[in-house]
Amino acid sequence: MQLFNRYVSTRSLTVFAGELLLIFGSVALAAAFQDTPNLAANLWKIALVTLICQLCLYYNDFYDLTLVHSSRELVVRLLQAAGTASIILAALYSVAPDLMIGNGIFVSALFVFLFAILAWRLAFNSLTGSLKLDEERVLFVGTGEVARKVARQILDQHEFAYRVIGFIDDDASRIGERIVNPAIVGTPADIDRLIAEHHVDRIVVGLSDRRGKLPVEELLRAKMAGIRVEDATTTYERVTGKILIDDLRPSWLIFSDGFRVSRVTRLMKRTIDLALSLMLAIVTLPLMLLTALLVLLEDGRPILYCQERVGENGRTFVLSKFRSMRKDAEKGGKPIWATDGDDRITRVGRLIRKTRLDELPQLWNVVRGDMSFVGPRPERPFFVEQLSQQIPFYQQRHAVKPGLTGWAQVKYRYGSSLEDAMEKLRYDLYYIKHLSVFFDLTIVFDTVKVVLFRKGAA
């Protein structure tokens, strides 16, 4: 469970597993009622229907509990996913009739599992919401910006069942003062009493300056009593899927778990890079030829735009993309950050940017080994030099190969400001810390959703 919890909350996994069983059970039940011959031999067909239905639910953000937390949103996304699954299965059965379990089985099962999933999700929300069955009570030590930011993140999300009890501050005169809705509830001397009174499960330490301020004795007693005591940066990382760099100390990076990639993982990652790149290059070859023709017809040569980018360990390489801007996009010679709605982008360029077709020539960079399929997006040396001076730990994103897609690309919108670069770095550092083959595959899976629904950034 720890492996999955890095990328998906226990709550999301629970609802996903419950709905998997409900869909599979509904289709199997419908098949059994219609006396389907050789039902056991058709289990793989039932599994295929279940897979398609859950993919449609996933791509409709049905398992993003922060988005789907109202009954109306639940019903809308459920019906959208069911409609999409019905169309896909109808198309599939028309092409390959042998995949059909039996006439009318899916339609019969559809009404059953729609009702079952709706009832299950409402019951789950009721049990975990009203009864607080899986709720953790959190007490913050500190009232600074870091503590406030982490508390806001906890209050804004629905993936993790945390309830903020309040904040601890050195100044007793501030008790009762509202911080981010929860108030200051005591001083360090009150920690023991608050733990007993509110049944605190987790203490989050968010002190910017801990010298002489950290209530060591109180926190040690809490730790020995079985209460989780952790740094605010660690809490932020788990809740958001990114690393808080605003007040990050180098010691946290040095002593933190992660940031280690074994030779086996590197070998597997490289094997997957080659397999995915070659397969995608073959599948998209007609699209690449069409894109090249459209670029040529609209704005002539060159078709490809080659740029120097910074790769692993700061080594530079030449990245290729289909040209999406005018030839004189940087006629002054100075690199200019592309912005959303940039008037330098051609009509064809706007289309291929939205569909990510302009990125396809980078498959050659992946095959060559300059890039990986998944990793932080490579930036130009000019901007790397600028951003490294303004953003702490920016150079650490070059600890791994840059990628065609990445954690920041599937989680964050297109951006071209300093704050956007900082936000992407938070995601990039999280990816580097937790890098694994499984994590890469989840990002590839999410990238499909980004491309299909035009979310995130390229």
Q: Identify any residues that bridge with 138 across adjacent strands, giving them in sequence order.
A: 164, 202
Give the model's pLDDT for residue 295. Answer: 92
Domain membership of residue 276 (yes or no) is: yes
- Under 8 Å between Cβ of 185 and 166: yes
Distance in angstroms (rounded) separating the CA atoms of residues 13 and 23: 15
Of 66, 95, 129, at which residue does a domain stop?
129
In a domain, 435, yes or no: yes
CB-based burial label for 252 (10 Å; 0-12, 13-18, 19+): middle
Domain end call among 240, 272, 291: 240
In angstroms, the CA 324 to CA 414 distance is 16
**Is residue 400 within 8 Å of 312, Cβ to Cβ?**
yes
Full-model pTM: 0.81
- Same domain? 78 vs 218: no
User: Maximum distance among all alpha carbons in the chain?
Assistant: 76
348 and 392 co-located in one domain: yes
CATH number of domain containing 169: 3.40.50.720
* Domain contains 251: no
The verdict on 302 and 424 lying in the same domain is yes
Q: Are residues 166 and 190 in the same domain?
A: yes
For residue 398, give both structure tokens. Answer: 């070059």
Does residue 149 lie within any of the structural domains? yes
Asked if the structure places residue 290 within a domain, the reply is: yes
303: left (phi over 0), alpha (psi -120 to 50) or beta: alpha
At 32, is the pLDDT very low, low, confident or very high (cuts 50, 70, 90)? confident
Residue 400, token pair as written in the block: 């791994």
Over residues 414-441, the pLDDT tens digits come to 777 888 899 999 999 999 999 999 899 9
Mean pLDDT of 64-81: 83
Q: Do 228 and 82 lie in a common domain?
A: no
Q: Residue 356 — left, alpha, or beta (φ > 0 → left; ψ -120 to 50 → alpha)?
A: left
Q: Which of 129, 162, 189 is the last residue of a domain?
A: 129
| Reported confidence tier of residue 458, pLDDT bands at 50, 70, 90 | very low
Domain co-membership, 203 together with 329? no
**Averaged confidence pLDDT in the chain:** 87
Helix, strand, coil % (nearest 5) of the chain? Answer: 55, 10, 30
Count of domains observed in the chain? 3
What are the tokens at 136? Answer: 């953790």
Domain that holds residue 229: 136-240
* Residues 119 and 146 reside in one and the same domain: no
Same domain, 18 and 59: yes
What per-residue confidence (pLDDT) applies to 141?
94
- Residue 166 region by backbone torsions, left for phi larger than 0, else alpha for psi between -120 and 50, else beta: left
Q: What is the mean pLDDT of residues 10-37?
A: 87
Which residues 6+ apart lie within 8 Å of 413 measured at CB? 455, 456, 457
Residue-wise pLDDT for 372-405, tens only, equals 999 999 999 999 999 999 998 999 999 999 999 9
Same-domain status, 121 and 145: no
Q: Is residue 222 part of a domain?
A: yes
In this predicted structure, what is the pLDDT of residue 131?
56
In a domain, 458, yes or no: no
Same domain, 158 and 97: no
Q: How many CA atoms lie within 13 A of 379 on its CB side?
A: 24
In percent, the amount of the chain with pLDDT more than 70 equals 91
Sheet holding 136-141, edge to edge: 184-186, 162-168, 136-141, 202-205, 228-231
* Shared-domain flag, residues 18 and 125: yes
Are 123 and 167 contained in the same domain? Answer: no
Residue 44 lies in a domain: yes
The answer, yes or no, to whether residue 116 has pLDDT greater than 80, is: yes
